Amino acid sequence: MKNVIGREPEKKILLKALSSNQAALIVVYGRRRIGKTFLVRSVYRNHIRFEFSGIHNLGLNDQLTNFYLLLSKKLRNIEKPKSWIEAFFLLGQYFDRLTSKKKKVLFIDEFPWLDTRKSKFLPAFENFWNSYVTKRDDMVVVICGSAASYMVKNIISSKGGLHNRLTQKIRLQPFSLRETELLLKSNQVILTRYDIAQIYMALGGVPFYLEKIEKGDSVAQAIDRLCFSKHGVLRTEFDSVFVSLFDQHDNHYTIVRMLAKVRKGLTRNEILKESKVKSGGTLSKTLFELEESGFIEKYLPYQGKKDSLYRLTDEYSLFYLKFIEKSKTADSGSWMTIYGKQTYKAWSGFTFESTCIKHIKQIKYALKISGINSYHGSWVGKGTKTGAQIDLLIDRDDNVINLCEMKFVNSKFTIDKKYALELANKSNTFQLATKTRKNIFTTFITSYGLVDNKYRKQFVQNELVLDDLFM
């Protein structure tokens, strides 16, 4: 099995459970294809004593049959259980027969799919944990699932038999640019960081997608093959993701498609008005599920607004809805056609801004302000004559606000006279509208830096490059 790339905090949590003198219950959740199963199997490869997984859209009888077939390989002469209570009783008998003093891991994958209608799976698991596992000091139980809302509601925030029983929770996030680079290198895919950023902006940091890029692929070849060819793995992935994650996925489709069209995001009321999704529990549940699954982000704009905004942040969904869905299948060349159009340049500019926001930790480190308390957000100057907009600002406790300009171009970026005036106007408008007394630092984040001219020297206080996001 390949080594785990990144995931250092998550590995520490899993390894710590092995050295504990108590039983541990660990929840691992995150969107489909993010690497949950691989992480658990890799870290616990020498400790997993039994593993079984839920199967999508199968009922109680089939799920029990699958469990029985797996357990019968380890525990001879058993009959198929008629209920999950019986199944977990048999599982306890199996663990009783293990004589090693080392920690023993029980791994239950796709946990939500096991909790089918009238199956009584969750109460049976709760009983197994409370009446059997907690009495042992040599067991670690890991439950894993892609349906993040189920995991949060029924396990992490349980009001029933698992209330306050959880030892640790791991919400597995997409890779950063740095982790993406490490994964590609481990597969002998050697690309410039500019090209890695292009891949990241199209596919996101989802390990399963990145694993499909082959040695010798250029960006154009990889994206053409995966996204635009007739049998491309990612050509139909968008539909598969939502069907597998969400029961009533039509509502999720609707909201994601809506948010894909609005760069700054929408308030809950705006989503309600445009989507026609039922108010109250249905809309709240849908937004919560999309947020917990990593597709959208909820944030408060900088000053002036009390309502939170929801913004689509999943790179693959944005790329799919903008380009893949509208394209005709072709063996090659689709990417290069798109790449040369202004629509792609505009889209890549917006997506690079989103990528920068996701790497705010790296930006603060490069600015040498990691140890300074700060808040980051966006600002839209509604009501001002210029209608200025700032997609990323960092408000710091050391009396400075960084107004960030983000440009993704395959060369050094030139600030000309016209743009210099726009920068000055944006800074002045922000200062007047917010009435801030802090210092305003215009900060550029570009692919390869700025051309050194008089406007750069006059208007720019900080300058970061793409490499800084890979830290």
Are 130 and 163 contacting, i.e. CB atoms less than 8 angstroms apart? no
Distances (CA, A) of 280 to 256, 287, 292, 297: 18, 11, 18, 19
Query: Nearest to residue 375, comparing CAs of 355, 353, 401?
Result: 401
At 212, the pLDDT band (50, 70, 90 cuts) reads very high
Q: Are 196 and 467 in contact (CB under 8 A)?
A: no
Asked if residues 335 and 248 have their Cβ atoms less than 8 Å apart, the reply is no
Token duo for residue 191: 């690309």
Instruction: Provide the strand spans (E) within 32-135.
Output: 48-53, 104-109
Has domain 366-469 been given CATH number 3.40.1350.10?
A: yes
Predicted TM-score of the model (pTM): 0.91
Helices (H) and strands (E) in the chain, counts: 22, 13
Residue that is written with structure tokens 């069209």 in the block = 261
| Residue 125 C-alpha from the chain's centroid | 28
Cα distances (angstroms) measured from residue 55 to each of 63, 119, 363:
7, 14, 42
Percent of the chain with pLDDT over 70: 97
Whether residue 387 is predicted with pLDDT greater than 70 in this model: the reply is no
Amino acid identity at 48: I
3-state DSSP assignment of residue 370: coil
Q: What is the Cα gyration radius of the chain?
A: 25
Domain parsing of the chain, residue ranges: 8-171, 177-235+329-351, 239-319, 366-469
Among the listed ranges 85-89, 140-144, 269-273, which one has the minimum average pLDDT value? 269-273
pLDDT at 309 over 80: yes
* pLDDT at residue number 160: 83
312 by DSSP, 3-state: which? strand
State the architecture of 8-171 in CATH terms.
3-Layer(aba) Sandwich (3.40)
For the stretch 427-438, pLDDT in tens is 999 999 999 999
Among the four given CATH numbers 1.10.3720.10, 1.10.357.10, 3.40.190.10, 1.10.10.10, the one describing domain 239-319: 1.10.10.10
**Residue in this structure with the two tokens 């839920």, named with its chain if needed:** 54
Q: Which residues of 331-347 are buried (b: 16+ CB within 10 A; e: fewer)?
A: eeebbeebeeeeebeeb
Q: Do the domains at 239-319 and 366-469 have one common CATH topology?
A: no
Give me the long-range contacts of 270-274 (CB less than 8 A, separation at least 24). 271/310
Residue 459 corresponds to which tokens in the numbers above?
């208007």
Sign of the CA dihedral running 236, 240, 241, 247:
positive
pLDDT tens, position by position, 173-203? 999 999 999 999 999 999 999 999 999 999 9
Query: 3-class SS at 447?
Result: coil
Of the candidates 311, 9, 235, 30, the residue with the CA atom closest to the CA atom of residue 147: 30
3-state secondary structure of 207: helix
pLDDT at 208: 95
| CA atoms lying within 13 Å on the CB side of residue 226 | 23
* Sign of the CA dihedral with 401 first, then 368, 447, and 359 last: negative
For residue 168, the surrounding DSSP H or E stretch is strand 168-171
